[in-house]
Structure 1
Amino acid sequence: MTMVSVKSNLYIVRASALYDLIVTAGFITPWTAVLIINGLAALSGALALSRPVPLLDLTGMLLANLLGSVVVVWSLWRLMHPSHRVGLYDALARVLFALWQLYAVAHGASFLLLGFTFFEVGFAIAQMLPLKNLHRKSTTALAAEGGR
């Protein structure tokens, strides 16, 4: 497995934040979320997917707007303050998002979700790789200090 440098890890944390910002910014308001959901529904129809993207009721729209707002704020934080620790927390969130997306698809949600799941898993793995290497280095350093 290729080791990722500390500098590369910060780049990955920022890249994942930028991806999230682009993908979720439109969900902040009901007006823009409707446009995105209609676009996804049209894409689903154009691809002749057997599981269409449904329109949201008021509660679903509220949850989409809340999620969009939280993810945008989290994205801005990661862009402004990237760190290895922040990347680890983001990786954990991505694993949870991917699990719930897979659960939703398994229970009838549109297969379009799997495109988002691909990025969730990819960024989660990319953000965890150097942290494993950093943990190994710090354990080795602690062992060396203990031997003095």
Structure 2
Amino acid sequence: MMNVEPSPTIRRVVFGSAVYDFFVTAPFATPWTADAVLSVTRSLHQWLGLGGELPPPFAPSHLVFVSLFGTMTALWAVVRLLRPTRFHGTLDMVGRALFSLWMGVALARGASHVLVGFLVGEMAWMVALAGVLARHRSA
């Protein structure tokens, strides 16, 4: 791997995606906050009359896995906040493609359409990262 400083544009986009991730996923980092966020998603699903299955209340064992996701994603965001490199941007773009795929699978299997909000965010940052990485290939 080359030790080349990324362009300022790459740094800004990678940093911006990290800020987004931190604020979206940090609330999932503890079982208590994750439970509160999931309760809000259930309420939104009902209030907006969204399609798909109503998200169920989670048992403590489910919340452990949700909190693992929240903790690891928030920590990944911190890595990119401290070092917004081309390499980290590339990994993030691939991760967003995978998250988007899994969200699409969940939606196809009947998950609550509240998931669409998260999917739009993932896909928007994936496209932004892909665009800036493609435009600045030598950086």
TM-score, structure 1 normalization: 0.84
The answer to whether structure 1 residue 43 and structure 2 residue 34 are counterparts is: no
State the shift of 1:111 in Å: 0.5
Query: Pairwise mapping of residues 1-148 of structure 1 onto structure 2 (< 5 A)?
Result: 6-50=7-51, 51-135=53-137, 137=138
User: Take 2:20 and 2:12, find their aligned partners in 1: how far apart are those partners?
Assistant: 12
Q: Is the 8 A contact 2:42 2:55 kept in 1?
A: yes
Identical residues among aligned pairs (%):
32
User: Take 2:61 and 2:107, find their aligned partners in 1: how far apart are those partners?
Assistant: 20
Q: Which runs of 5+ in 1 are unaligned?
A: 139-148
User: Take 1:6 and 1:133, find their aligned partners in 2: how far apart are those partners?
Assistant: 10
Residue type at the aligned position of 1:129: G
User: Take 2:115 and 2:109, find their aligned partners in 1: how far apart are those partners?
Assistant: 12
Q: Is the 8 A contact 2:28 2:67 kept in 1?
A: yes
- Cα shift readout 1:1-43 (whole Å, capped 9, x = no counterpart): xxxx932221111111111111111111111111101111111
More helix by share: 1
Q: What residue in structure 1 maps to residue 3 of structure 2?
A: none
For the aligned residue pairs, the C-alpha RMSD in angstroms reads 1.6
User: Take 1:68 and 1:95, find their aligned partners in 2: how far apart are those partners?
Assistant: 18
- Cα shift readout 1:63-86 (whole Å, capped 9, x = no counterpart): 100000000100011001101111
User: Take 2:133 and 2:21, find their aligned partners in 1: how far apart are those partners?
Assistant: 21
Q: Is the 8 A contact 1:6 1:130 kept in 2?
A: no
Q: Aligned pair count?
A: 133
Which has the greater radius of gyration?
1
TM-score, structure 2 normalization: 0.89
User: Take 2:131 and 2:26, find their aligned partners in 1: how far apart are those partners?
Assistant: 28
